[in-house]
Amino acid sequence: MRIGYARVSRGDSQEVQAQVEALKAAGCERVYTEEASGGRWDRPELHRLLDHLRPGDILVVWKLDRLSRSLKDLIALLERIEGAGATFESLTEHIETRSPAGRMLTQMLGSFAEFERAMIRERTRQGLEYAQSQGRKGGRRHKLTPAQRALIVRLVDSGEQKAADAARSFKVSEATISRILAEHRQESRKGKS
């Protein structure tokens, strides 16, 4: 039986449906879907799939990094698949583990995926360090300008508006308003000490 596994990262804007359709078009009778990081080992649907593998089954993914982004984990997963008497296939890279050459190519591509992930982490770290050296902090930019933030503090502290009303007025969440007020209070305490 051809069994598919589709995964997107949690919080990503990616859709799993395109992967599911590709897996079904490739003859997968059953498809397990998951929203989790490929770098994490605790993926319940993947483990459920692995527990259901039988001799002769083929675990199919749309792309190799959907199974794992770590070479160590990829090799462990491939060994578990092989231990169940099943094989692995990746549609995008056109690789499979039914042959020795296919197994070698799978491991090589896993190495490249791990290298690419390490390079992204390194570039991100360097970018953050550079931004800090320039006096900037990492993370998303504020939704509100400093003037809008000051206005919110004034309106809520004076009692002209409740936090919920300010959130609706400025089209942000109440949590954002609470965070702005907390930051203002913390800065006020620092200024007094």
pTM: 0.58
26-48 confidence digits (pLDDT tens): 999 999 999 887 666 678 999 99
Band (140; pLDDT cuts 50, 70, 90): confident
**Residue 15 buriedness (CB in 10 A; 0-12 / 13-18 / 19+):** exposed
Query: What contacts 143, CB < 8 A, 6 or more positions away?
Result: 172, 176
Q: Backbone phi, then psi, for 42, in 5-degree steps?
A: -85, 80
72-119 confidence digits (pLDDT tens): 788 888 889 999 999 999 999 888 888 888 878 877 877 887 788 788
Pairing of strands 95-96, 87-90: antiparallel
Catalytic residue positions, numbered:
9
Q: What was the pLDDT predicted at 59?
A: 96
